[in-house]
Structures are given as C-alpha cells and as structure tokens.
Structure 1
Amino acid sequence: MLDWLSRNVRIFILAFFLALAVWVSAVTAADPDETRPYPNPVSIEIVGQDPGLVITNAYTRQIEVVLRAPQSVWRQLTSEKNSVRAVVDISNLSSGSHQVQIQVQVSNQPVRIMSTSLASLELVLEQLLTKTMPVEINIIGTPAIGYQAQEMQLSSTEVVVSGPQSIIQRVQKIGASLDISGVRQDVDTEVNLSVLDESNLPIDGLNLTPANIQVTVPVVQQGGYRDLAVKVVVSGRVANGYRLTSILVNPPVVTVFSSDIALINSLPGYVETTQLDLTNVSADIETRLALNLPEGVSLLGDQNVLVQVGISAIEGSLTITDRPVTVNGLSPGLAGTVSPLTVDLYLSGPLPVLDTLITTEVLVSVDATGLVAGTYQLTPSVTIMVVGIRVETILPGTVEVIIGKSTPTPKP
C-alpha cells in the first residue's frame, strides 16, 4: 500500500493543482476582476495627533485611488459610504517637518491597491501655545456737539488666543475699533476682535475665545444743551391743479445752547423755521430757512436748515372722441382706407395740462410701411404734442385698413 502511494504521489499532487486551477478559472470567469479608479476622491484622515501640536502647513486633502477587485466587490465599494479610507498616522511625532506615509484601507475584500495619486504627505508640526491677553478698543470720533462719552464698558476685558508657536510670537495686541462720531445716545454693540502684530496689521491662523465682545459706551447730554425737532412753517396755497406732496428738512433735529439752563428746559420739543410762502407754487422748491430762536438761545453748527418741498400736479383723465385715423408709410401708387374712420381716446395726466390740451394736438395713425395691396388689421398709435399725457385706452384697439391702387387725380 505504501509502495503504491509513493509511486502515485506525484500524480495526486498534479491532480490537486489541476483541480485548483479549474476552480480558480471557474470563479474568475463568473466574477472577473476589474482594474479601475475608485469613482470618488478619498479624503485624507489625520489620526493620532498630539493635542499639544498643530499642523501649520497646507497639504493635500484628497487623493485618487486605482483598485483591482472582482465585479461583486466593486458593486459593494460603490454602494457603501466610506468603504475606502486614506489614513495618515502621526502618533508619536514631535514638532518639526515629517514625511508620513498615506495608508489606504479598504473595508471590502478581496481588493488590491494598484496605485494612488499621492503616496505620502509632508506635515509640519508646531507646538500649540495658549496666551491670555487684554482687549484694547480704539474709539474713533466724538459724539454730537453737546454730548459727552462716558467710560467704556466691555463684556470681557481679556481673551484667550491659541495657535502655532511661530504665529503666537508675533501677536502684540487684541483689539477692535468703534466709531461713535455724531452719536446722541448710548452705544451698545458687538464688535469682532482682531489679532494684530507690531505694525497693527491683522494676523490670521489663530483662535480667539471669545472672538467677539459686547461694548457699551454711555453718552450723556451736557448741561445747557438740548436737541429740538425742526418744524417748517408754511403759508399760502399752491397753484390750482397742484398739490403739496412732501416737506423734508435737513437736519431734522438741531442742537441749541443757552447758559440759562432753566430757559433751555422750558423750550418745547421743537423749533420753528421762518415762514415759507407757497402761494401759486407749481414746482418743487429747495431753499434754506433760518430758525426762530428765543433770545438767549443759540444754534450750534449751521445757522439755517435745508428745506425741500415736493409739488406735483393733480392727476385727471380726459376722453377725446372721433379722432380721425390717418394711414402713414404707404408705398407710391397705393392708397389706404380705414374702417372705422375715427377712434375714441382715453387720456390721463396732470389736470393743468389736460385742461389746456387742444384736440388737434392729438394725432392718430396706423403704419403701413412695406405693406402691399390687401386687407389688414392694424393697431393705431397716438402722438400727443404735449409732454406728460398718457394714453390709457384706444377704442377700438385695432382698425381695418384696405390698401389698393390709388386713383389718379383727373386733370382739368
């Protein structure tokens, strides 16, 4: 028996490998391998980073991967999220520049990684520093005349700045600017803080906690000063057919002063202008008016105010009937007949203009340019020799035009 086995062992081994080859061939034929790029870019994952270190250089965030796998595995790879990962392990790395291998991991098997668009990453690690610094707010401008800013209040007087050591070493101050020019009331606003270097230029790449703070600047009115609304005094009636549409004054509020505080406090909340006469006015007015101030009270700044008065015509409507329609643009040798011969017009516009409109200043025509003999439905157009009048409706909206050969005028 042993002799028989020893004589046939090579035959058994050969038969085994032949069977294995047949099996592999059958499996490969049923589920053939394919080599192709993974359809989506693979994001690079940084793992094992020391919390006391920070990456300071720019690096590639995604790579392309070419895989070889059976068709069944490809179906799984393309249907599942995160089936292919690109991992960069920086465990145990210290500060400095490092070339780190990119490890491509595939969750489904069997898969062979044929190539990647990038094999390794260069990463620069720096020590992460944290520093507490005071907040400096730069106040720009001053309040309106007669007002004074009080001591500023901050929701936080210190902030924590963190980032790479090389950038932290450049930081000189943390601050922001706040403009209070011309204000008449308390300023309460949120400002975004900036990290600045010794040249007062902003520095990027750092984290601030908090990144913004609330700033409050109390503003109080000084004694002897008072703000008063400006009231424009008008008289007379605008021209017939016109109406007053608006009265604007600039500035709408003025500041007055008196050494007699009791006098200032006794004033009403407004001050009147000198009288503006609008009798028979038919156009907009822009003028400067003085203010009527009691004796002992003076006006700060400009001694008069700008007043703008809007005047517009009252709108109305007008109907013109039986305006004849003419045919324009006929080619030589052709004549046109219109039916109906006349149309009715409904016009609108300023009443003073409508009241003086003459019927002959309204012309109605149809354009027959380029038309040959035949029958046409054309839309009339209206020409009004006066500006400001609108055509609302033409009745009828279209007219029939019959174009034919013109009849020669008989000679006497």
Structure 2
Amino acid sequence: MLDWFGKNLRIFFLAFILSVSVWVSAVIAADPDETRPFPTPVSIEIIGQDPGLVITNTYTRQIELVLQAPQSVWSQLTSGENSVRAIVDISKLGVGSHQVPIQVQVTIQPARIMSTSLETLELVLEKLLTQTRPVEINLTGTPAIGYEAQDTVLSSEDVIISGPDSIVQRVKKIGATMDISGVRLDVDSDVQLQALDENNLPVEGLSLNPAKIHVTIPIIQKGGYRDLVVKVVVSGRVRSGYRLTSILVNPSVVTVFSSDIELVNSLPGYVETSQLDLTGVSADLETHLTLNLPEGVSLLGDQNVLVQVGISAIEGSLTITGLPVTVNGLSAGLIATVSPLDVDLYLSGPLPFLDTLLLTDLLISVDATGLVAGTYQLTPIVTIMVAGIRVETIQPGTVEVVISKGIATPKP
C-alpha cells in the first residue's frame, strides 16, 4: 500500500496543481483583473512631524496611481473613502533636506500597485522659531494747520512671531504705516501688522499674534489756533420767477490764528464773508469772497473762499385749449378730415418761459405719410419752439383722421 501511494504521489500532486489552476482560471474568467489609472489623484499625508520643526519648501501634494485589481474590487476602490492612501512618515527626520519614500496603502484587496507618478518626496525641515518683537507704527503726513499729534497709544505693544528659523531671522521690525495728513480729530483705527525686512519689504511665511492691533492717536489744536465755520452773507433778491436752490462754500471751515489767545477764544464759532449780492441773478453763479476777520486775527491758507450759488426757475403749469390739429405728409389727390378739429394741451416748465409762451410757439400735427384712403386713429405730435417746456398730457390722446380722394380746398 505504501509502495502504491509512493508511486502515485507525483500523480496526485500534479492533479492537485491542475485542479487549482483550473479553479483560478475559472475565478479570473468570472472576475477578470483590470489595470487602469486610479480615477482621482491621491492626497499625500504627512505624519510624525515634530512640533518643533516646520516644512519650508513647496512640495507636491498629490500623486497619481495605476492599479491592477479584479473588476469587482475596482467598484469598491472607487466608491470607498480612504481606500487608497499615500503616506510620508517624517517622525525620524531632523533639520535638513530629505528624500522621503511615499508609502502607498490600498485598504481593499486584492489589488496591486503597478506604478506611481512619484516615489519619493523632497522635504526641507527647519527649526520653528518663536520671538516677541515690539510694534512700531510709522506715521506719515502732518495734521491740519494748527493741530499736532500726541503720543500714539497701541492696544498691544508687542507681537509674537513664529515661523521657520531662516525667515524669522530676516525680520527687522513689526509694524504698520498710518497717514495722518490733514486730520483734525483723534485717529482711532484697527491696523494690520506686517513683518518687514531691512529694506522695509514684507516678509511672508510667518504667523503674527496678534495679527492686527487698535491704534489711537490723540490730535489737539495748538494754542492761538481755532477752526471757524464760514457763513456766507447774502443780499438782494434773485430775478422774478427764479429761486435760490443752494449755496456751497469751499472750504466750509477755515483755521485762524492770533498771538492773543483770549481774542481767538472770544470769537463766535463762525466767520462771515464779504457781502454776496444776488439782485436780478437768474443763473448759477460762482465767485470768490473774502472773509471779515477782526484785527489781530489772520487766516491760514487761502485768503478767500469759493462760493457756488445754485439758481433755478420756479416751475409752473399752463393749460391751453382749442389748439387746431394739422395734417402733415398727406399724399397728392387725398384730403383729410380731423375729428375733433382741436385739442387741449397741458404744459409745465419754468414760469418765466410759460409766461412768455405764444400760441405761435406751439404746433399740433398728425403724420399721414404713406396713408391711403381710410379711417385712422392717430396720436397728435406736439412741437414746442421754446426749450425747457414739457408736455404733461394732451386731450384727447388720439384723433380720428378720415382720408378720402379729392382735391383740397385752397386756403384764401
């Protein structure tokens, strides 16, 4: 029996191998392998980073893969979350430049990695440096004449900066620039802080805490100086039918000075201009006026102010009845009858224009160009020879025009 088993062992082994091969072939035939690119790029995960180190170089964030897997596995790979991961372990790395292998993990099996777009990742690690630096605010410009800025008050005098050692070492100061040109009131503002190098250029790649601060700059008026509102003194009446719509003065506030502080403080809160005579004026006016200041008080800057006066006509309305309607563009051999023969017109516009309007300045017509014999409803056309007058409505809004063959009776 043992002799027979020994003689046939080889045959049994070959039969087993053959049966396994047949089974594998059957499985592959039912669920064949497919080799194809993974449909989406795989994000690279950095693990094990020392909190005291920072990556300073720009590196590839994703890789592309080609996998081989049975058809049934592909559907699971493409539908499952984190079915494929690309991991870079830097737990044992220190300061310096490194080529780190990318470990691709396929969590759903069976699957085989055929190729990757990148096998190693170059990373540069630097020491993470944290420092405390004072905040510097650079003021540009000067306040308005007669004003001066006091000491700047900051919500935080210091800022904590952190980042790669090489970048932190480039920072010469932390601050911001504020323009106080022409200001008369206290400055209260939030400003964004910037890290600057020795050339006063921004240094990027750093974290600032706080990133912005509140800045207060008290602005006070010097002794002997005072701001006064400009009051325009007007006399006379504009032309009849017109009205005054606006008076603008530039500057509206002026600064005066006197060595006699009590004299300046005793002034009212305004200063009057020389008299502006508007007698008979019927159009917009622009002029320069001087200011009436007491002796011993001088005006800083321009010695006069610009005054702009707005003048417009008073609006009114006018109704004109019984205006005849004429027919234009009537073809030869045709005559036209209009019903009604006349219309009423409702107008609006500046009173001076309405008061001088003549009937000869108005023409009411209908256009019969190209029309043949028949009955038509036409809209009257109003022509006004005076600009600025508007037609509010016309009654009736349409007229009946009967066109027939015939010879028009000549007017005597």
TM-score (norm 2): 0.83
Secondary structure (helix, strand or coil) at the match of 1:262 reads: helix
Say which is worse superposed, 93-102 or 357-366, in terms of deviation: 357-366
Query: 1 CA distance for matches of 2:365 and 2:258?
Result: 72
Match of 2:237 in 1: 237
> How far is the alpha carbon of 1:146 from its aligned partner?
1.8
Query: 1 CA distance for matches of 2:335 and 2:39?
Result: 73
Secondary structure (helix, strand or coil) at the match of 1:308 reads: strand
Residue segments in structure 1 that go unaligned for 5+ positions in a row: none
Residue segments in structure 2 that go unaligned for 5+ positions in a row: none
> How far is the alpha carbon of 1:77 from its aligned partner?
3.6
Contact 1:325–1:338 (CA under 8 A) maintained in structure 2: no
Contact 2:86–2:103 (CA under 8 A) maintained in structure 1: yes
Amino acid at match of 1:155: S
Match of 1:247 in 2: 247
Contact 1:333–1:406 (CA under 8 A) maintained in structure 2: no
Secondary structure (helix, strand or coil) at the match of 1:309 reads: strand
Residues 1:311 and 1:43: Cα distance change in structure 2 (over 3 Å) = farther
Residues 1:133 and 1:361: Cα distance change in structure 2 (over 3 Å) = same
Match of 1:201 in 2: 201
Query: 1 CA distance for matches of 2:335 and 2:45?
Result: 84
TM-score (norm 1): 0.83
> How far is the alpha carbon of 1:21 from its aligned partner?
4.5
Query: 2 CA distance for matches of 1:6 and 1:338?
Result: 133
Amino acid at match of 1:243: R
The root-mean-square deviation of aligned C-alpha atoms, in Å, is 3.6
Match of 2:268 in 1: 268
> How far is the alpha carbon of 1:39 from its aligned partner?
3.4
Say which is worse superposed, 169-178 or 23-32, in terms of deviation: 23-32
Determine if the alignment matches structure 1 residue 95 to structure 2 residue 108.
no
Query: 1 CA distance for matches of 2:271 and 2:112?
Result: 89
Query: 2 CA distance for matches of 1:194 and 1:104?
Result: 41
Contact 1:130–1:162 (CA under 8 A) maintained in structure 2: yes
> How far is the alpha carbon of 1:293 from its aligned partner?
2.2
Query: 2 CA distance for matches of 1:16 and 1:175?
Result: 81
Match of 2:65 in 1: 65
Match of 1:286 in 2: 286
Say which is worse superposed, 35-44 or 226-235, in terms of deviation: 35-44
Query: 2 CA distance for matches of 1:355 and 1:378?
Result: 30
Question: Once the two structures are aligned, what percentage of the paired residues are identical?
Answer: 74
Match of 2:133 in 1: 133
Match of 1:171 in 2: 171
Match of 2:219 in 1: 219
> How far is the alpha carbon of 1:121 from its aligned partner?
2.6
Q: Any idea what the Cα deviations from partners look like across 1:375-397, whole Å, max 9, x if unmatched?
A: 77766554433332334445555
Amino acid at match of 2:325: P
Residues 1:28 and 1:351: Cα distance change in structure 2 (over 3 Å) = farther
Residues 1:107 and 1:263: Cα distance change in structure 2 (over 3 Å) = same
Query: 1 CA distance for matches of 2:252 and 2:320?
Result: 47
Query: 1 CA distance for matches of 2:71 and 2:259?
Result: 96
Residues 1:366 and 1:203: Cα distance change in structure 2 (over 3 Å) = farther
Residues 1:62 and 1:262: Cα distance change in structure 2 (over 3 Å) = same
Contact 1:366–1:381 (CA under 8 A) maintained in structure 2: yes
Paired residues, number: 408
Query: 2 CA distance for matches of 1:382 and 1:11?
Result: 118
> How far is the alpha carbon of 1:151 from its aligned partner?
1.7
> How far is the alpha carbon of 1:250 from its aligned partner?
1.6
> How far is the alpha carbon of 1:249 from its aligned partner?
1.6
Match of 1:324 in 2: 325
